[in-house]
A and B are shown apart, each in its own frame.
Chain A
Amino acid sequence: MLLQVKNLRSAYGALEVVRGVSLHVSRGEIVGLLGANGAGKTSLLRSLVGLLPPRHGEILMDGRSTLGQPPWRSISNATVLVPEGKMIFADLTVRENLLIGGYHNPDRLLQLDIVLDRFPRLRERARQLGGTLSGGEQQLLALGRALMGRPRLLLLDEPSLGLAPLMVLEVFAEIRKLRELGVTVLLVEQNVTATLQIADRAYVMETGEIILEGDAAELLHNPEVKRAYLGSTGREALL
């Protein structure tokens, strides 16, 4: 197991948003974490890297506890979070954006070449300002920037957010390919179908708790997943 989480509890003030979550991600896996708005997915990710220090529980990376570490230490554990909404630097060029991602990596220029080979689109636009890229390209840039840190575990927060359906497919295809680089992925998403198509396993979260765990292929047909999003009926929002 690369990442092992047990009984994690996190809160904003008195409001507990992660309520005793256990999950694990094995090496080389793509694991989905699904749930509706406000289920606690993003808070869970923020807790994993120390941005929202958990109140209770265990986080083991490669069997060693990372609890209480400041967020910047997660990078040296080779855990990189790609936050929701891409958060790229609009006023810096694509190349500069990428180099920031490899700031702590002495071989960052070498890594830059690897990443640009991986995303030819970014190479074409290496000198363009980040803010001028399309939404999909910005998401690829955010992915590329994360890869600059040579992560072993990549935490992706809603990479499909605000993307056109075709672009979602492209970004997800890139995520699937990350496996070839030996990167393990924990993918937090609302887009159920797209996620379950590329994931090995997935968890479904509802109001701070995990209510389902299973192989992606099984969850694809699980009505509980629909219920977690939509209450009792409705299908249209499932893409």
Chain B
Amino acid sequence: MNVFDHRHELMPRGELEQLQLERLQALLARLKRHVRRYREKLAGLNVESVADLARLPFTTPEEMAESFPYGFFACPMREIIRLHTTLGPQGKPLVIGHTRNDLSQWGRLAARQLAASGVTANDVIQVCFGGGAYGSAGYLFGAQVLEASVIAEEPAHADYQIAMLRNYRPTVLITTPTMALELAEVIEQRRLDPQSLQLRTVLLSRPVDRETRDRLAAGLSAPVQCNFGLGEILDPGLCVACPAGTFHLHEDQFLAEVQNGELVLTTLCREALPLLRYQTRVACELVQGKCACGRSGVQIVPGPRLDGRLRVKETPFYETQIAEVLAHTRAAGQPFTLKVSERHIVVSLELSEALFADTVWFVENLKRQIESDFLARLNLVAEVRFVNPRSQAVPDETGGPTLSPPETGRPLIQS
């Protein structure tokens, strides 16, 4: 077992519980002092043990979205040195602030993950997320803490990345599942030998099913590990994914509960944006016990999203956002059905009499305009089909009108 922070990761249970209580009490004191919303909610409430957490109020993503952008910040802007954004409820943006300490803490937490994956100062890391969403930031901080070499280039196209893999000979690849699949595909198409790459570990930014993992492990000729994180809390840095594939929560930093099947998290140490009992909208199970890797303590078994968040490639979105995009076009208010596939979405629009009466040229133009709107507003590749309002069923080669995307119907983890 590779451990970066022995004191905190392997803390004896009694001491850990004491530390959690101390940090929880200090958190409450800070929240009452610095965050108006919490001051009102927490008036007169105290905790005398970690179990008392159950008596405290929740924080919902909707509240965070309401107080957009900075309503939940616990320190003045002057002390915040980084703003990250993440997708909130129904596509509303959320702003996640970090102080200097938050960032260095983030680096140490990400370093725990990298160390557990076997990364050392001798490794060269290729971090490729693409998309420009700064998803790689945590990994960069972690690599810096471990003093591993990071190639500071994030090309979006696979060919260039493969060239990097061959030229710089990185030993560790950190990337998204989509990107990894694309790489494996291109490597196969170009008839390259994946064993000629020097990869020792591939770390994926989010969990994928076992089948995909095996496919990637074969396609890139390296063991594949998945990480789990949440944009509002930390991603990466929430837990350590051990080689056995278990997610071990950083219990010195976060308290986890499960309420009605939903993961609820409390940040114990965060300075800029501390959150108390934050409802993550992710289905989850918590398991206590010893893992094959030697770690004990709380394990997270994440399930599907509970708020209807969909995803195409690495772009998350909500169905309400689709309606919003349509509302800006000539097809506003038309009933539609949505189908999500691996690479794009298919929007089947019912054409009203008024629109139907127009020329083919007009319909073609409308289709092109809506499709480019989806790309511009949501970064989604969309295919728009027009259907006859009288035929309720959507023409579809793979079967019936369906809304539920393949990925949200089943647990993310199958191992």
Interface residues of A (CB under 8 A from B): 1, 4, 6-7, 20-24, 26, 203, 206, 209-214, 218, 221-224, 232
**Chain A residues, Cβ within 8 Å of B342:** none
Q: Contacts A24-B18, A206-B29, A224-B271 given; 6 further ones with Cβ under 8 A?
A: A1-B18, A211-B29, A213-B23, A218-B104, A221-B101, A224-B75
Complex contact B26–A213 (CB within 8 A): yes
Minimum Cβ distance to chain B for residue A107 (Å): 33
Complex contact A7–B26 (CB within 8 A): no
Given the known interface contacts A20-B46, A223-B75, the answer about A209 and B18 at a Cβ–Cβ threshold of 8 Å is no
Given the known interface contacts A222-B101, A223-B75, A224-B271, the answer about A6 and B18 at a Cβ–Cβ threshold of 8 Å is yes
**Chain A residues, Cβ within 8 Å of B19:** 24, 213
CA distance in complex: A6, B51 (Å): 14
Complex contact A212–B18 (CB within 8 A): no
Complex contact B18–A4 (CB within 8 A): yes
CA distance in complex: A203, B21 (Å): 13
28 A-B interface contacts by CB (under 8 A): A1-B15, A1-B18, A20-B25, A20-B46, A22-B21, A22-B22, A23-B22, A26-B15, A203-B26, A206-B29, A209-B25, A209-B26, A209-B29, A210-B22, A210-B25, A210-B26, A211-B26, A212-B30, A213-B19, A213-B22, A213-B23, A214-B269, A218-B104, A218-B105, A221-B100, A222-B101, A223-B79, A224-B75
**Chain A residues, Cβ within 8 Å of B30:** 211-212, 224
**Chain A residues, Cβ within 8 Å of B23:** 213
Closest to A4 in B: B18
Minimum Cβ distance to chain B for residue A87 (Å): 30
Complex contact A1–B22 (CB within 8 A): no
**Chain B residues, Cβ within 8 Å of A7:** 48
CA distance in complex: A45, B26 (Å): 19
Given the known interface contacts A218-B104, A218-B105, A221-B100, the answer about A22 and B29 at a Cβ–Cβ threshold of 8 Å is no
Among all A-B residue pairs, the 3 with the closest Cβ atoms: A209-B29, A211-B29, A7-B48
Closest to B105 in A: A218
CA distance in complex: A26, B25 (Å): 19
Minimum Cβ distance to chain B for residue A163 (Å): 30
Complex contact B22–A24 (CB within 8 A): yes
Closest to B78 in A: A223
Complex contact B25–A22 (CB within 8 A): yes
Complex contact A6–B26 (CB within 8 A): no
Using an 8 Å CB-CB cutoff, how does the interface string of B71-93 with A read, 1 for contact, 0 for none? 00001100100000000000000
Minimum Cβ distance to chain A for residue B251 (Å): 15
Interface of B is mostly: helix
Closest to B100 in A: A221
**Chain B residues, Cβ within 8 Å of A1:** 14-15, 18
CA distance in complex: A214, B22 (Å): 10
> Is B246's beta carbon under 8 Å from chain A?
no
Complex contact B101–A218 (CB within 8 A): yes
CA distance in complex: A214, B105 (Å): 11
**Chain A residues, Cβ within 8 Å of B330:** none
**Chain A residues, Cβ within 8 Å of B269:** 214
CA distance in complex: A239, B105 (Å): 26
**Chain A residues, Cβ within 8 Å of B100:** 221
**Chain A residues, Cβ within 8 Å of B33:** 206, 211
CA distance in complex: A213, B271 (Å): 11
**Chain B residues, Cβ within 8 Å of A221:** 100-101
Complex contact B101–A22 (CB within 8 A): no
CA distance in complex: A211, B99 (Å): 17
Closest to B46 in A: A20
Closest to B24 in A: A22
User: Which residue of A6, A203, A206 contacts B48 across the interface (Cβ within 8 Å)?
Assistant: A6
Minimum Cβ distance to chain B for residue A143 (Å): 28
Closest to A60 in B: B18
Closest to A226 in B: B79
Quick one: which of B93-141 are within 8 Å of A by CB?
99-101, 104-105
Minimum Cβ distance to chain A for residue B212 (Å): 39
Minimum Cβ distance to chain B for residue A179 (Å): 16
CA distance in complex: A95, B25 (Å): 45
**Chain B residues, Cβ within 8 Å of A209:** 25-26, 29
Minimum Cβ distance to chain A for residue B6 (Å): 13
Closest to A214 in B: B269
CA distance in complex: A149, B104 (Å): 41
Closest to A227 in B: B75
**Chain A residues, Cβ within 8 Å of B271:** 222, 224
**Chain B residues, Cβ within 8 Å of A206:** 29, 33
Closest to B15 in A: A1
CA distance in complex: A25, B33 (Å): 26
Quick one: which of B1-26 are within 8 Å of A by CB?
14-15, 18-19, 21-23, 25-26
Using an 8 Å CB-CB cutoff, how does the interface string of B42-80 with A read, 1 for contact, 0 for none? 000010100000000000000000000000000110010
**Chain A residues, Cβ within 8 Å of B29:** 206, 209-211
CA distance in complex: A232, B34 (Å): 12
CA distance in complex: A211, B15 (Å): 19
**Chain B residues, Cβ within 8 Å of A212:** 26, 30
**Chain B residues, Cβ within 8 Å of A210:** 22, 25-26, 29
Complex contact A24–B15 (CB within 8 A): yes
CA distance in complex: A87, B14 (Å): 37
Quick one: which of B221-273 are within 8 Å of A by CB?
269, 271
**Chain A residues, Cβ within 8 Å of B104:** 218
**Chain A residues, Cβ within 8 Å of B26:** 203, 209-213
Minimum Cβ distance to chain A for residue B25 (Å): 6
